[in-house]
Amino acid sequence: MQPETRPIIQEQLVAEVKGIYAGLGLVEAKCIEVDNKQSICNLHHDFFLASQHPSASLGLRRLASKYAMPARMWRLGIYSFLEISRLRLLASLDNMLAFIYLVYSMMALLHETVPVFEDTWIECLGDLDREVWTWVARQCYSKAADNAPTTGRFYHHLAIFARPNGIWQLFYYANLISPTPASHNP
C-alpha cells in the first residue's frame, strides 16, 4: 500500500528546483566567504612563519613590516568577516564563533612563534576576546532581564551593548523606565 500522491505540474516542479537552487547558491556563497577568510588567515600565517624563520635574511624578516602584513591580515582576513557576522549575528553565530576560535588559536600560535609582532598579536587576541565576551555578556543580561523584567539596570546594560543601533538603544532605555517592559528578544 502506497500513500496517495498528487501529481505535480511542471511549473511547480521548476519553481521548486529554482528555489532550492537559489538557496544552495546562498549557502555555497557563505561557505566560500568563510573559506576565503580562513585561506587569507592561513596564507598570512605561513608568510609570517617563513619570513620570520631563524634562518631568514634580514631583508626577508623586514618584509612583514614593510608590507604591513599584520594589519592586512587583521583587516582582510579577520575584521571584515567579524563585521559581516556581527550584522547578521543571529543567522551566523555558529560560524562566527567557530571562526573566532580558529583565528584565536592562530593568533596565540603567532604570539609564540613570531614574537617580533608581539604587541600586534596581543591586541588581536584582545579584540577577539572582546567579540566573544561581548556576546556572552549580552546573553547574560538578556537572561537576567527575562528573569527580572522590572529590574531596570539590565536594560541599561543591554542599551549600552545596542550601540550604535539607536532604535534598539531607545527600546532598552524605554524598558528601563517602564513598569512592565516589552519583550526584548529581537
HSE-CB for 65 with a 13 A CA cutoff: 11
Asked whether residue 115 carries a pLDDT value surpassing 80, the answer given is yes
State pLDDT tens for residues 121-150: 999 999 888 877 887 788 888 888 888 888
Write down the pLDDT at residue 68.
92
Write down the pLDDT at residue 111.
94
Q: How confident is the model at residue 31 (pLDDT cuts 50, 70, 90)?
A: low
Write down the pLDDT at residue 120.
93
Write down the pLDDT at residue 56.
86
Q: How far apart are CA 30 and CA 38, in angstroms?
A: 12
Alpha-carbon torsion (160, 162, 166, 172), positive or negative? negative
Q: How far is CA 50 from the centre of its chain?
A: 28
Write down the pLDDT at residue 183.
61
Please give the residue that has the higher pLDDT: either 33 or 22.
22
Q: What is the CA radius of gyration of the chain?
A: 24
Least Cα distance to 69 among 27, 108, 33, 41 occurs for 41
Write down the pLDDT at residue 106.
92
The mean pLDDT value for 53-76 works out to 90
Q: How far apart are CA 158 and CA 33, in angstroms?
A: 30
Asked whether residue 186 carries a pLDDT value surpassing 60, the answer given is no
Write down the pLDDT at residue 184.
55
State pLDDT tens for residues 77-95: 888 888 777 676 656 667 7
pTM beyond 0.85: no
Mean pLDDT of the chain: 82
